[in-house]
Amino acid sequence: MYAISYEILPFRDAEESVLTHVPPAVPLTVTATEAKGLGPTLDLAVRLTGSGYTVSPHLAARLVRDEQELTDIVARLKDGGVDGVFVIGGDAPEPAGRFPDALSLLEALAETGHHFRRVGIGGYPEGHGTIDRELIDRALALKTPHATHVITQMCFDARTTLAWARDVHLPVVVGLPGAVTRQKLIRISAGLGLGRSARFLRKQQNLAWRLLLPGYRPNRLIAQLAPHVGGLIAGFHLFTFNELAKTEAWRRSLPEPDSVGAGR
């Protein structure tokens, strides 16, 4: 089976859904939003870790006030047995304090010391709808020494992802939509600033049924990327939007990989 992890949202029924549908062998990340703050993310990460899962909560830099709060967060996660994080800038329009972006938080983590064995960062194979490509590439280069892997944002073009991965000096985990309805995929993708993929979905909603009905499954993308697993690609990360029963059923239906891709 391919190395596959799931992203989940810290909603009220998320824990029960994970325990019901997802085996502990599947690693998880837990998102964070400005509206909910970091509390629900950290709480859920600790509880799921206590239930035997490998969990990396999102640490959104713009939601952390200062070094003391960061130290408290790290201590809380260490006490809860959480040994991984995924560091992002976050979606807050203004930072709560000292950390305007992921790089500043990563640097603070390095200075204060931490116990995390996994430190993930984000990547944008086709750029971002509102951020200059040169700035994104420079930020990735600066964050790379502080990270263990990069998880890409959604991109529906395998060639674009592979071309981007050739220039990344970290293990690349490809982010893909899980088994979700086409309506949900179009709605969420259009709001994420994903470049060509989002624009395609917005413009082609009347044609999207050809690709996505009755629901999206990333089989085609995985088939195109599979020959590069073990080389350019380290594995896959599914944005489940908490459609965990459908996504897990789909994951279990995947055929075993035929071969491992060639190296870089």
Kindly report which listed range (18-27, 31-40, 116-125, 212-221) carries the lowest average pLDDT score. 212-221
Q: Where does the pLDDT of residue 188 fall: very low under 50, low under 70, confident under 90, or very high at 90 and above?
A: low
Structural domain contains residue 258: no
Q: Which pLDDT band holds residue 189 (cuts at 50, 70, 90)? A: low
CATH number at residue 85: 3.20.20.220
Beta carbons within 10 angstroms of residue 138's beta carbon: 12
Average pLDDT over residues 21-42: 95
Taking the model in full, what pTM does it have? 0.87
- Label residue 33 by pLDDT band (50, 70, 90): confident
Buried residues in 148-176 as b, exposed as e (16+ CB within 10 A):
ebbbbbbbbbbebbbebbeebebbbbbbb
The vertex-34 CA angle with 14 and 43, nearest 5°, equals: 40
Q: 178 vs 175, which has greater pLDDT? A: 175
Instruction: State percent of the chain over pLDDT 70.
Output: 83
Please give the tally of structural domains in the chain: 1
Residue 261 in domain: no
- Distance, in Å, from the CA atom of 120 to the CA atom of 27, rounded to the nearest integer, reads 13
Q: What range defines the domain where residue 50 resides?
A: 4-253
Residue 153 DSSP class: P
Q: What is the arithmetic mean of pLDDT over 240-253?
A: 93
Closest CA to 34 of 109, 104, 89: 89
Question: Would you place residue 191 in the very low, low, confident or very high pLDDT band (cuts 50, 70, 90)?
Answer: very low
Would residue 24 count as lying in a domain?
A: yes
In a domain, 122, yes or no: yes
Distance (Å, whole) CA 253 – CA 178? 13
Residue 215 has pLDDT above 80, yes or no: no
| Cβ atoms 67, 98 nearer than 8 A | yes
Report yes or no on 264 lying in a domain.
no
Mark 80-119 as b/e (b = at least 16 C-beta within 10 Å).
bebbbbbbbbbebeebbebbbbbbbbbebbeeeebebebb
Examine residue 262 and state whether it is found in any structural domain, yes or no: no
**pLDDT per residue over 116-173, tens digit each?**
999 999 999 988 767 788 999 999 999 999 999 999 998 888 999 999 999 999 999 9
**Beta bridge pairs of residue 150:** 121, 172
Residue 87 CA: distances (Å) to CA of 13, 25, 61: 24, 22, 7
- Does any domain span residue 12? yes
Interval 76-107: pLDDT, tens: 999 999 999 999 999 888 999 999 999 999 99
Which SS3 state, helix, strand or coil, does residue 31 take?
Answer: coil
